[in-house]
C-alpha cells in the first residue's frame, strides 16, 4: 500500500513571530506538511507566553529559532533562512521589517522566487486605480 504524502511536504516557510493571523497560518501550513521555521524574539512574546515550544498549541510541528534582529549577524542568519524558503510570513507593524533589513525588496535579493506574506492586521492605505 502506498503511503500518502502531505500536500505541502517539501515546502519551506519562514515565519517571523507575531500575534494574530501569522502564527495561526504557520500552524495550519505545518499541519499540512510544510516545514515551518519560526524566528522568535529574545523577549517572550504573546505566543511564547502560551507555553514552551513542546506544549504550545501554536508551536506544534514548528522549528523555533530565537534571534535578536537588531544585530547584523542575526539579520544575516534570518536572510540565510529566507534564501532557502518558499514563503515568508510576517505580521509586524508597517515599516518594521524594512527597518530591520528584512523587507520584501531585501529578501527578494536573496531569494527572487520567495512569496512574501504580510499579515499586519492593520489598515493600510491603498492607492486607488481607475480602470477604463
Confidence of residue 59 (pLDDT cuts 50, 70, 90): low
Q: What is the pLDDT of residue 127?
A: 47
The reply to whether 130 falls in a domain is no
Q: What is the CATH number of the domain that holds 47?
A: 3.40.50.10540
The DSSP secondary-structure symbol of 46 reads T
pLDDT at 113 > cutoff 60? yes
If one compares 117 and 48, the residue with the highest pLDDT of the two is 117
If one compares 19 and 13, the residue with the highest pLDDT of the two is 13
- Tell which residue, 39, 91, 88, has the closest CA to residue 68: 39
The reply to whether 19 falls in a domain is yes
Question: In the predicted model, what is the mean pLDDT of residues 61-90?
Answer: 94
- Tell which residue, 3, 52, 60, 5, has the closest CA to residue 28: 60
pLDDT at 85 > cutoff 50? yes
Confidence of residue 43 (pLDDT cuts 50, 70, 90): confident
Q: Which domain holds residue 101?
A: 12-118
Amino acid at each position: 500500500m502506498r503511503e500518502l504524502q502531505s500536500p505541502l511536504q517539501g515546502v519551506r516557510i519562514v515565519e517571523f513571530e507575531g500575534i494574530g493571523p501569522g502564527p495561526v497560518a504557520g500552524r495550519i501550513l505545518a499541519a499540512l506538511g510544510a516545514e515551518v521555521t519560526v524566528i522568535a524574539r529574545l523577549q517572550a512574546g504573546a505566543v511564547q507566553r502560551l507555553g514552551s515550544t513542546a506544549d504550545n498549541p501554536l508551536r506544534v510541528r514548528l522549528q523555533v529559532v530565537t534571534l535578536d534582529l537588531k544585530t547584523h549577524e542575526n539579520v544575516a542568519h534570518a536572510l540565510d533562512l529566507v534564501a532557502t524558503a518558499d514563503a515568508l510570513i510576517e505580521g509586524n507593524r508597517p515599516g518594521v521589517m524594512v527597518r530591520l533589513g528584512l523587507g520584501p525588496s531585501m529578501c527578494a535579493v536573496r531569494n527572487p522566487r520567495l512569496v512574501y506574506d504580510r499579515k499586519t492586521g492593520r489598515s493600510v492605505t491603498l492607492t486607488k486605480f481607475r480602470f477604463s
